[in-house]
Structure 1
Amino acid sequence: MSSATGDLNETQLSTSFSSTESSKSCRHFEFPEILLATNNFDESLVIGHGGFGKVYKGNIINGSIVSVAAFKRLDSMSSQGATEFWAEVEMLSNLRHCHLVSLFGYCSHENEMILVYEYMPNGTLEDHLHSLGTPLSWLQRLKICISAARGLDYLHTGTGIDVGVIHRDVKSSNILLHESWAAKISDFGLSKIGPTNQPLTHVHTLVRGTFGYLDPDYSFTGRLTRKSDVYAFGVVLLEVLCRKRAVDESLGEEQWNLARWVQESIKEGNLKHIIDNGIRDEISPKCLKEFVRIAERCLLSNPKQRPMMAEVVVRLNYVLTLQQKLNISLQATDKTIFGKLLDMFPFASNGENSAHGDSKPSSNIKDTSRRNADDSVPVDNKDSTRTAPKLFEVYKFDDLEVATQNFLFLCHGSRDLFIGWVDKNTFTPSLGGMGIEVAVEWYSELQPKCQRVVNALGRLSHPNIIRLLGYSIDKQPQCLLVYEYMQQQNFGHFLFGEDVGRPLSWERRLLIIIGVVRGLAYMHSSINEVIHCDVKSTNIFLDKE
């Protein structure tokens, strides 16, 4: 890989990628394709505007699949140009991570330079913090920070190549949010590369970046290191906590620089007063202290004393776990709406099979199979009385009968699992074929394993664990459970079943296994300490991604 800020052209690009498999996924789009996808750059399709230029929303065809994409078009008046354009193409063609935005391809036609990315429906973190006023909970904010930190950690040390990547422009507007609210790092036009074996090896470069996020040491010396990204990320952490911009001159001299204002407030003992009012009542004092301590260390003036991003990920995960445990404890003692929900589920009080008896919570790793519901057990049964299922939709049997077209379509050949449709926003049943697909599992009677699935999945919430949307028990003894729909069947089907001949690349297999590990790690480390007891390829279901 050549220098990310060198003067690259398309010939150099294709040469540098000729021996890499990753470059095959970076497609060159013809200009007429771009015009068609954006309706000749229709202004009504503009979804954003940055230093590079306007961003348009449109559809592209990837093989036989139509995908929504974001088209970033270089503005002729922009201070950026070919250097940043080719740097971004090269960088994102060689990097693949779930917390980095994916580059579908690019278009270079005469004076037109266009980058084509995956579309991120929830926009930027900056939008939600400062423009839209979105009511983001404390836990949501923590998870966004962890996702972004993981992306940066991958750039710095986990790229799988001999060089690490310094982003050089980490800020809330370059953190995009997926439909699931997972964060992805974007905009690699200013990125630089350097050795990974020496964390503080620096690169001499002209100072580039965004005021408010710039590492003071980098500004003074021109020595760029990965710790410069760490400093900028510390500012993002404060942004998330305080809901204030990194630089805002309208706030007056004392508060216009966010990092300086927070550091002064900490010295004066005014920590509680800097927190965004929307989350002030959600944060435990211990979590607040730990979170601010992480941000403080990121902002230390001496880069050598700042943590690596790997440590930031670990510390933020600790804060998240701490807050989740406290929330569960409060729910159990205060009998909030979540605490009361266990009593609302009718078979939660059926004597020995209740959550207060010998219930054995289960969890399926992206799986709707009912077989392992009998087998999963908590490490400590006495703790199972202190948690309760999250709020589920309560469906009527007749409505689900309509949603499944009278239980007409079987899911992947299962005799107990049917395809249904619900409204994508409300999850209420809809006519067959309308809305989003769900999987409806039919239990002929109210069996303990049905109860255990509900109790377990009410405790667990993770992108790599199957999501239970609701249930129906109004026509007992039947019980219906409604799950998110897994489009790609199970892992075992691809390895050993009818589709064994379909290509499943080594990279794809690794990504699947990483997803499984994340789901299991969450189960094992959560307050519930759930052991699955039936981990196997046929209990690993795959979504459309």
Structure 2
Amino acid sequence: MPTTSINDIIVLVILVIVIIVHQLREWKEKSWSKNPSLIDENLCCRFSFTQISFATNNFDNGLEIGRGGFDKVYKGVIKVTNDKVEMTVAIKRLDSESKQGEKEFILEIETLSKLRHKHLVSLIGYCNDGREMILVYEFMERGTLADHLHKNKRNGSEDVTPLTWKERLNICLGAARGLEYLHNNSEQEVIHRDVKGENILVDLNWVAKIADFGICKVGGATSHTHTHISTDVKGTFGYLDPAYFSTRMLTKKSDVYAFGVVLWETLCGRPVIDDRINNKQQRNLVLWVQRCCENGMVDEIIDSSLRGQIPTDSLQSYIKLANLCLHKQTNKRPTMAKVRKDLESLLVDGLNFLR
């Protein structure tokens, strides 16, 4: 009877360990793929990772259309309505290794699956196979408001046609209607908390829609009744409501403040924080605009491509509205319903002027 050498025992032990590790890995994969649905599938489609991978050609870099801190966005084509209809979509894949996006991922599904409006980006479905966190939206062909105002120019894109005054007002009006719906709908009142040019998307017909609900807050907090939501401060620097930043008391008027910044962004055609400018006051859009208005230098802030397109009375009304949105006292700021009505009037004035 031959004796077993130490080398044979070592090989045998290694082989057993490899088999155990392989089986554990298989067991983990199977358990990950059995993740429960996050929402009623009548409200929102649930896609498999295989479907998502096929739709993006295995996440082809050539289909990448956007990138954030914890996600990449791809253009894809996916089958919906029981695989009967092909639909062009935007597919946002969150970093599966990051736990920071998990809460936002679930919140966005729960919020957008229950809210449907012409001026909100539609959530088509999601994928939560294993560790994957993927959101599928309607595809917005013309990108973001920020793209058209300043981002494309800075990225060296060719043939960038500046938006006309009418187009800018139309986009702001659409976004205002979307926010008004969020604040006042009967399903669930929502404070967006991250209103900015990059989160206002535009479709092929130039219809503006609010996007990105990952840090929104559900609940009816209004400054009229002095109710609020106490919460950690989240949002984008430059658009943050100073009152919310200092007190951590979030209200709908915090969205109104951010929308006021968007109004300035739209008129001036520049980013809210311009790192290329050394002067601190000029680098910050709001500080620069307020200083110019105080010194009677309004002409300096208007995007040069808008010269001759804005009637004087309309410009004054627009500036007044933007400044009201940024009022230090939250109860002095208008509601989004009032902002929407004012923009509708401005659009009519602008069309009459052009005629």
What TM-score does the superposition give when structure 1 sets the normalisation length? 0.55
2:290 and 2:222 mapped to 1: Cα distance?
A: 32
1:212 aligns with 2:212: no
1:174 aligns with 2:196: no
Of 127-136 and 290-299, deviating more is 127-136
Q: Which residue matches 1:58?
A: 76
Q: Which residue matches 1:42?
A: 60
Contact 2:223-2:253 at 8 Å conserved across structures: no
What TM-score does the superposition give when structure 2 sets the normalisation length? 0.84
1:11 and 1:191 mapped to 2: Cα distance?
A: 24
Task: Give, in angstroms, the shift of residue 197 of structure 1.
Answer: 7.6
Task: Give, in angstroms, the shift of residue 61 of structure 1.
Answer: 1.0
The one-letter amino acid paired with 2:78 is I
Residues 319-349 of structure 1: CA distance to partner in whole angstroms, max 9, x if unpaired?
1111111221xxxxxxxxxxxxxxxxxxxxx
Q: What is the correspondence of 1:363-402 to structure 2 with a 5 Å cutoff?
A: none
1:223 and 1:206 mapped to 2: Cα distance?
A: 9
Q: Which residue matches 2:343?
A: 316
SS state at 1:286 partner:
helix
1:98 aligns with 2:118: yes
Of 303, 325, 339, which aligns to 1:276? 303
Structure 1 residues 209 and 197, CA gap change in structure 2 (3 angstroms): closer
Contact 1:60-1:66 at 8 Å conserved across structures: yes
Contact 2:164-2:306 at 8 Å conserved across structures: yes
The structure richer in helix per residue is 2
The one-letter amino acid paired with 2:301 is I
Contact 1:58-1:69 at 8 Å conserved across structures: yes
Residues 290-309 of structure 1: CA distance to partner in whole angstroms, max 9, x if unpaired?
11111000001111110000
SS state at 1:36 partner:
helix
The one-letter amino acid paired with 2:262 is V
Contact 2:268-2:301 at 8 Å conserved across structures: yes
Residues 250-306 of structure 1: CA distance to partner in whole angstroms, max 9, x if unpaired?
222121111111111111111111000000221111111011111000001111110
Following TM superposition, the consecutive aligned residue runs of length 4 or more in structure 1 with deviations greater than 6 angstroms are none
Count of residue correspondences: 310
Contact 2:222-2:253 at 8 Å conserved across structures: no
Residues 391-437 of structure 1: CA distance to partner in whole angstroms, max 9, x if unpaired?
xxxxxxxxxxxxxxxxxxxxxxxxxxxxxxxxxxxxxxxxxxxxxxx
2:193 and 2:138 mapped to 1: Cα distance?
A: 22
Q: Which residue matches 2:105?
A: 85
SS state at 2:182 partner:
helix
Contact 1:53-1:74 at 8 Å conserved across structures: yes
Structure 1 residues 304 and 77, CA gap change in structure 2 (3 angstroms): farther
Q: What is the correspondence of 1:130-529 to structure 2 with a 5 Å cutoff?
A: 130-133=150-153, 134-157=161-184, 159-161=185-187, 163-195=188-220, 199=224, 200-251=226-277, 252-328=279-355
Contact 2:221-2:250 at 8 Å conserved across structures: no
Contact 1:53-1:73 at 8 Å conserved across structures: yes
For structure 1, the 5+ residue unaligned runs are: 1-9, 18-22, 329-545
Residues 95-151 of structure 1: CA distance to partner in whole angstroms, max 9, x if unpaired?
000000000000001221000000001011111111224311010000000000000
1:120 and 1:77 mapped to 2: Cα distance?
A: 28
Q: Which residue matches 1:107?
A: 127
Of 117, 139, 150, which aligns to 1:119? 139
Residues 10-46 of structure 1: CA distance to partner in whole angstroms, max 9, x if unpaired?
75943xx5xxxxx613011011000100111110000
For structure 2, the 5+ residue unaligned runs are: 1-34, 154-160
Task: Give, in angstroms, the shift of residue 77 of structure 1.
Answer: 6.3
1:105 and 1:149 mapped to 2: Cα distance?
A: 25
2:98 and 2:274 mapped to 1: Cα distance?
A: 23
Contact 1:233-1:298 at 8 Å conserved across structures: yes
2:283 and 2:221 mapped to 1: Cα distance?
A: 35
The one-letter amino acid paired with 1:234 is G
Q: CA RMSD in A?
A: 1.6
Structure 1 residues 60 and 309, CA gap change in structure 2 (3 angstroms): same
Structure 1 residues 44 and 284, CA gap change in structure 2 (3 angstroms): same
